[in-house]
Amino acid sequence: MRDDADNHHEQGRTSARRAPARARWAALFVALSMAAVGGLALVAAPAATAATIDTTASYVLVNRNSDKALDVYNLATNDGARITQWTRGDGANQQWQFVSSGDGYYRLKSKHSGKVLDVSGRSVADGAPVVQWSDTNGTNQQWRLQDTTDGYVTLINRNSSKALEVQNASTADGGNIVQYSSWNGTNQQWQLVRIGGGTPTTPPTTPPTGTFTNPVVWQDFADGDIIRVGDAYYYSASTMHYSPGAPILRSYNLVDWEYAGHSVPRLDFDDAGYDLTGGRKYVKGIWASTLGYRKSNSTYYWLGCTEFNRTYVYTASSVDGTWTKKARLNNCYYDAGLLIDDDDTMYVAYGNGAISVAQLNADGTAQVRAQQVFQTPSNIGTLEGARFYKRGGYYYIWLTKPANGQYVLRSSSPFGPYEMRQVLLDLPGPISGGGVPHQGGLVQTQAGDWWYMAFTDAFPGGRMPTLAPISWSADGWPSVQTVNGRWGTTYNRPNITTTKTVASMIGKDTFAGPTLGHRWEWNHNPDTSRFSVNNGLRLQTATVTNDLYSARNTLTHRIQGPSSTATVELDYSAMANGDRSGLAMLRQSSAWIGVVKTNGTTRVVMTDGLSMNSSWATTGTGVERASAAVSGGRIWLRTTADIRPGSSRTATFSYSTDGTNFVPLGPAFTLNNQWEFFMGYRFGIFNYATQSLGGAVTVRSFDLTTP
């Protein structure tokens, strides 16, 4: 076989554009021929898509233009070996496993050689060869799946942003695999055919079938607001003292979600305490806020009240774009719910007990009028957490009775008068040991169905988004569809057909840069001059303190429930004497594993006993429970956390000097499940000084896995 790697790609562009017709006729001929002799099982194998990747399975990648499979040429096992296409035989050299790199990227690992697809020499040029190479998790080995049509996907390289392609639209055995600018040619489209491992996946071009399980997101996203814009669903949540704030999740089917953005890029709330320089703002900042979309100007709006006395307005043209602070209103829309009426007027429902409605000016930056529209009856107690809707000519204010009930108000005018109905009270929830689903919001699908995304208290992990269908009575009142008298653990999937995909909310992040992904939030605003992201997260010490709760630039990540493991690869070679760097279980009662440098020597240490009181002042800076001498400048730190609801859940700590063999360190740490801190436990990556600034560490990777 000759090597065609140096063929001129432009010379083949015309033939590439002609290729789809040839491929279709060839495929039809083959299919008819096989049908005449009874067919082959290979033809009927179903395709996977970006939304249905199973990282435990193996796949054969079949090119749409040639009907041939991605193949390690000549069964090679060496670095740099050619990748070609070849007639499909399902051998190990044609089977590939998807290994998550985080943020929706994967390495494609050969079952035959154990090596991964690699753009040779980290090239960004069109026509650069794709080879196999030992897995380094480099960005030139990472690929993102993008759906096209009929269950086919393109694979986009993270380093070059170019697509995996059969060079010159070849249909021959041995055709070379290269990268090229994505133009959606059929020679860039691949069918992912699962090999064994259980029931094949179903292409999402068919109506959804089956069920989903609550919680739909087992991570801490409370006080949610939910909207639909076109075929995309967006969910906004509270973050209090974490920055950036007001995270936005995105879904195309209400069940599978991804991190999409933050409405508040920095906690710019006119108080230095949010920087951990003029005080501290634990359990302040962003509480229940609201997200809306205005069709008239194609703009997203976020509104939130901070510290009971001021409301901020942020806007953006896309949820994952640049959000800008547009206004500060010197009154508090407590637990705000935004409604943009049919005539484009903007209203906000808000309040605690006394429920009010405000009308905003034309650009949503000032109040025109406000009045109380409802007083909660004394026998109910408190109603809050407002969401504001319009349906069938009626205005609805959706309210929660914390933390066990949901009520709805209805009127023919935004300013009332309103009548009230109970939606649920003390309804058993879907999480064993958890609370009653409540608060959250309603959303209508493209098909006209209504769904309720509430949250369920599940401490120590936090408050978890929980989904259920809504029915409407003939006279226009909503109710939750229950299963055997309780909020269902499972329901039939929403009737939403989509080929759109989302990235995993767990997995590995190698901090390729130049910015952090949306999965990350700092404890208070960071000092941006003291960190950088470029093939690793470099954390220079930003604070001299003996108190982790006062240390700037602690980077946090939500814990995946019901249990998960975080592993950090840490380069500590540039630490200074007195520095402490590691991985924490962070809440008002905390513990950590990390490296401590003292008088030129380094130890790995497990520390617990970090605590705050009910005013969020530090009452304990930690007690060292175990340690071991380490050297060499590199270490892997690991924390495994059980965040199922309950009072006796624990986290354990371990470390490794080779990334493979982990040694337990210290006793199990019992997690605090009190609700008053509101936010659940998080993993926290920290680096602070106790003597003087100047030291630094580099976090090479963070990996979040589940059992």
**Residue 43 scores a pLDDT above 70:** no
**Residue 577 scores a pLDDT above 50:** yes
Determine how many CB atoms are found less than 10 A away from the CB of residue 197. Answer: 11
pLDDT of residue 147: 79
Q: What is the pLDDT of residues 605-618, one digit of tens each?
A: 999 999 999 999 99
Kindly state the average pLDDT of the residues 412-418.
98
Q: What is the pLDDT of residues 205-252, one digit of tens each?
A: 455 679 999 999 999 999 999 999 999 999 999 999 999 999 999 999
pLDDT averaged over every residue in the chain? 90
**Residue 142 scores a pLDDT above 60:** yes
pLDDT of residue 207: 58
Kindly state the average pLDDT of the residues 449-458.
98
3-state secondary structure of 120: helix
pLDDT of residue 296: 96
**Residue 22 scores a pLDDT above 80:** no
Q: Taking the model in full, what pTM does it have? A: 0.74
- d(CA 189, CA 206) in angstroms, rounded, equals 20
**Residue 122 scores a pLDDT above 80:** yes
* Domains of the chain, first to last: 10-195 (2.80.10.50), 222-492 (2.115.10.20), 507-705 (2.60.120.200)
**Residue 9 scores a pLDDT above 50:** no
**Residue 399 scores a pLDDT above 80:** yes
The full DSSP string for 216-275 is: SS-S---S-EEEEETTEEEEE---BTEESEEEEEEESSSSSEEEEEEEESS--SS-GGGG
- d(CA 460, CA 670) in angstroms, rounded, equals 10
- d(CA 382, CA 376) in angstroms, rounded, equals 7
Helical ranges in 573-679 per DSSP H: none
**Residue 17 scores a pLDDT above 70:** no
For the chain, what percent of residues have pLDDT higher than 90? 83
- Binned at pLDDT 50, 70 and 90, residue 194 comes out as confident
Kindly state the average pLDDT of the residues 313-318.
96
Kindly state the average pLDDT of the residues 620-635.
98
Q: What is the pLDDT of residues 485-513, one digit of tens each?
A: 999 999 999 999 998 889 999 999 999 98
Kindly state the average pLDDT of the residues 357-382.
97
Task: Please tell me the least confidently modeled range out of 169-173, 193-197, 303-307, 596-600.
Answer: 193-197
For the chain, what percent of residues have pLDDT higher than 70? 91
Q: What is the sign of the dihedral through the CA atoms of 52, 53, 57 and 60?
A: positive
pLDDT of residue 52: 66
Q: What is the pLDDT of residues 557-576, one digit of tens each?
A: 999 999 999 999 999 999 99
- d(CA 274, CA 244) in angstroms, rounded, equals 11
Question: Which residues is 591 bridged to in the sheet?
Answer: 585
Q: What is the pLDDT of residues 85-118, one digit of tens each?
A: 999 988 889 999 999 887 788 999 999 999 999 9
Cα atoms in the 13 Å half-sphere on the side-chain side of 150 = 6
Q: What is the CA radius of gyration of the chain?
A: 27
**Residue 203 scores a pLDDT above 80:** no
pLDDT of residue 6: 36
Kindly state the average pLDDT of the residues 639-658.
98
- Binned at pLDDT 50, 70 and 90, residue 544 comes out as very high
pLDDT of residue 195: 83
Closest CA to 204 of 145, 246, 247, 159: 145
